[in-house]
Structure 1
């Protein structure tokens, strides 16, 4: 740039002089101008140090920052209101005595013990233990040869969840009896140990029940298991189940599918073989509910494997029931159903402990049963129910008395009727529950048609039961129980096969009537004394031929709660 400035300065005077002679003519002399570029600018070299920008380290450590805000509460002068709010204190719960012991003794060498032990109040669980013992050292025939006893131990527990309830329990039972139905005129001395019949049962059960009221689906599951042992080496094992399912389609219709049954094994020592007995039942249908009317319609399907010869193993029966409530205190019901009555060896022993060493155990078929009745209340304290049923039954059974020549006593076996026969029942009951008075009265009439030439043995034609109690004073309680039973037919082969048998064997068992009274006096809210008297008429009646009942019985004792 500098060189250009110098050139301009150099030529500027010449240009000015030339302007002075602008008007003069002349000739331009040839000339040559040479411009040389001979100047060089040299600058000193500078050393530059280019360094990397250092990385700025960020401190990532956490800082706890807390914010405090002060709350200013103005202080007000205390007020003295003239209005007082009345408050009701919560009522204190009455102290709960969940444990109770009852002890008693009586004639015939009777001893009685009952204990109930339970947990305290709890919203979600409960548990406890029941213990029961009753025995008679002597009986109506030859004292100790006709004694009896019963013991039971039963622990239990319950858990209540938000949507279900779980129950569980176990039990041990012991029954002890003697076959004292021998002819005392012909057998003055007998071996008491050979007469003893003792059977033990150990078992458990568990159930789960739905309690979710907002759900449309509801269920109830029950399972039971038991093992029976006897002192004559007979045994029975059984696993039972019961499952109930229902689904509410809407407010009117409900579907249900229920199932129950058992798997069992029965063994008699003399036969030295086990009999497997199984039953499976399904009940499905629909229920309709509309205001005062309820209708259920379904099928009852049963499969079992121990019917007598000539019968199928699979059965389908109807299941219809109707309930109509024209008034608030009256309901009329009726229905038609069929089913299989499951019979067990354990049930036979509970009903008749004087069985022979081996018996036949079969189920009873009921192709249909028609039933109906009415139930309601006359007032807030008095209720009633009347009804009837008539059924067609096959393999129905009673008991037949058989004389055992080896041991010299009467034993019993179930007697089945293979043909279809008619069974009917008419009943009526009335009950009340008032502060000081409680009672229940029921009467039944039974009818069995098992053929033109046969009679149903050891089943009464009518029965009347009464049980009630009344508080005469605040501390004195009086109870009354009565039992009246009609004549029973006697089926046996004793008279024909054993002419020398000295028993008075008639065609029927006379009517049975029994009357008992109970007295209880409360010493305090935790203790009580009691006195029970049974068979006040002192009638040694025979429910089973050859086995008279004890006469007048009395039992006194003491009850304490803690």
Structure 2
């Protein structure tokens, strides 16, 4: 696509205000249990309810939203992207629980806190509800560390964000959108040996991202056709000179043919213009027509993915990949499922920088092809608030990528791909157990085990874990105090020093966090967060230890 026409298309989409949380929301894959969207069926219409999120970026729940939605089970499409967002250098802000009383009175909040490592924190949200469905608000966040885990102020970090969001519903259409800016500043502090006697600005980097998201979805209860259109437009640029304009748009639609048979259509288009030493144009188009048959006990989906990956100067490949899914209700509360699918992932600069901020310049960007993914599993929703899921998968990839320390500079990371003749195999076993006492206690244990084989030129799956587990708990005591604990385990990480060709096995990661929120009144609460209580200076990525035990204390005011 020509540069000018790309800009015109992007501008047109911004004016239309399209967007969504992902074109796959209408027809989500069966699978892994996580805190993803909760689907609620209401008079044969599917409504998406926001999940209970622990992350700092969580927006305050607007009025008239289900305060504590149940958990839904979904497996991630990719076995592992090396992305462990739960484990970072930073303190994770304890989330204010939204009780029914608070929900009915206040939906605006401002929080401020201070901690060790020169930690300053400020978060705020203000919004206006217009009737039952219309809502408009603005969210701001500042989260900064003057000092880091090593080298004092040579490893500090900052994260700032502003986002305006809006939701408007008409008789049969809902419009949602947000416009935001985010900036992250950090240092390449992974020096060996750890000698910091130079100007710290020489190892400083930052990226800014401006983004617009929007969705148009059908909310009519009488229309037989269901649809959702979405568009995400972002522009990211770094201090060191790399930038990327990214447009990710898609749609999903469902057309009932009979009471039990429906025709479905998913589509996605990812257009990227990346600029570093050279400017590259990379496009990915995916169409997934499929038919789904569903009765009281059994459902089956049969279709095909047509994907085209195109680069302006070299690549122009078309792929045909299978889509086959089935499930069977074995008995009340127990469902078996299986599938055979493929996919293509774009691998853009924006997404990989958010995976590893210490990425170096002049990276080769290629799409990863999942040639096949054969999986099977069982879900169980038992009595007394207990539920669980177990899933096994065997997937085959081409252009499988890993992130490892650069061969020219070990403080920066580079993307390494399996060669064209290699088909990487990933065998995984994943599961989760949940237990919940409504309005009182919630516990969730997630575990994933991976085996990477036939890696070819990669030798090892650098910085991808062999095992990871997350155990999270929330306990509300007499509606006066919320206690939250998170325990993370990550093992099997390996890195390679590209300059010495020395392989390093990283120590297992054990990370324990505790958070306390005390409700002084309906408007005020105080919070205390203690992270990495075991004081482990572990390395998620080679030569980059995280902070030891760190604390954050502050005050929240709701209005």
Q: TM-score range by the shorter chain?
A: 0.7 to 0.9
Larger radius of gyration: 1
Structure 1 residue aligned with 2:264, among 256, 262, 277? Answer: 256
Which runs of 5 or more structure 2 residues have no equivalent in the other structure?
1-100
CA contact (8 A) 1:216 1:249 kept: no
Tell me what 1:411 maps to.
Answer: 412
CA contact (8 A) 1:399 1:491 kept: no
Q: CA deviation at 1:284?
A: 0.3
The whole-number CA distance in structure 2 between the counterparts of 1:202 and 1:267 is 16
Spell out the pairing of 1:165-184 with structure 2 (5 A cutoff).
165-184=174-193
Structure 2 residue aligned with 1:440, among 440, 444, 456? Answer: 444
Q: TM-score, normalised by structure 2?
A: 0.78
The whole-number CA distance in structure 2 between the counterparts of 1:168 and 1:218 is 19
Tell me what 1:215 maps to.
Answer: 223
Provide the alpha-carbon RMSD of the alignment: 2.0
Whether 1:139 and 2:148 are equivalent positions in the alignment is yes
Structure 2 residue aligned with 1:313, among 313, 317, 322? Answer: 317
Per the alignment, in what secondary structure is the counterpart of residue 201 of structure 2? helix
Tell me what 2:500 maps to.
Answer: 495
User: 1:168-220, CA deviations, whole angstroms, 9 ceiling, x for partnerless residues?
Assistant: 111111111100011345x4412211111100000111211011222222211
The whole-number CA distance in structure 2 between the counterparts of 1:281 and 1:105 is 46
Q: CA deviation at 1:493?
A: 2.0
Spell out the pairing of 1:533-548 with structure 2 (5 A cutoff).
533-548=530-545
Whether 1:462 and 2:463 are equivalent positions in the alignment is no
CA contact (8 A) 1:450 1:456 kept: no
Structure 1 residue aligned with 2:297, among 277, 284, 292? Answer: 292
The whole-number CA distance in structure 2 between the counterparts of 1:478 and 1:463 is 23
Q: CA deviation at 1:377?
A: 1.3
Cα pair distance change 1:289/1:358, threshold 3 Å:
same
Tell me what 2:113 maps to.
Answer: 104
Q: CA deviation at 1:366?
A: 0.9
CA contact (8 A) 1:307 1:362 kept: no
User: 1:488-519, CA deviations, whole angstroms, 9 ceiling, x for partnerless residues?
Assistant: 122232325xxxxxxxx653111111111111
Whether 1:332 and 2:336 are equivalent positions in the alignment is yes
Tell me what 1:449 maps to.
Answer: 453
Spell out the pairing of 1:467-486 with structure 2 (5 A cutoff).
467-486=472-491
Q: TM-score, normalised by structure 1?
A: 0.78
The whole-number CA distance in structure 1 between the counterparts of 2:497 and 2:166 is 47
Tell me what 2:87 maps to.
Answer: none
Structure 2 residue aligned with 1:549, among 546, 550, 557? Answer: 546
Tell me what 1:508 maps to.
Answer: 505
Structure 1 residue aligned with 2:249, among 241, 246, 264? Answer: 241
Cα pair distance change 1:417/1:93, threshold 3 Å:
closer
Tell me what 2:362 maps to.
Answer: 358
Number of residues paired by the alignment? 455
Per the alignment, in what secondary structure is the counterpart of residue 140 of structure 1? coil
Q: Which aligned runs of 4 or more in structure 1 are off by greater than 6 angstroms?
A: none
Tell me what 1:201 maps to.
Answer: 209
Tell me what 2:63 maps to.
Answer: none
Cα pair distance change 1:230/1:401, threshold 3 Å:
same
Per the alignment, in what secondary structure is the counterpart of residue 412 of structure 2? strand
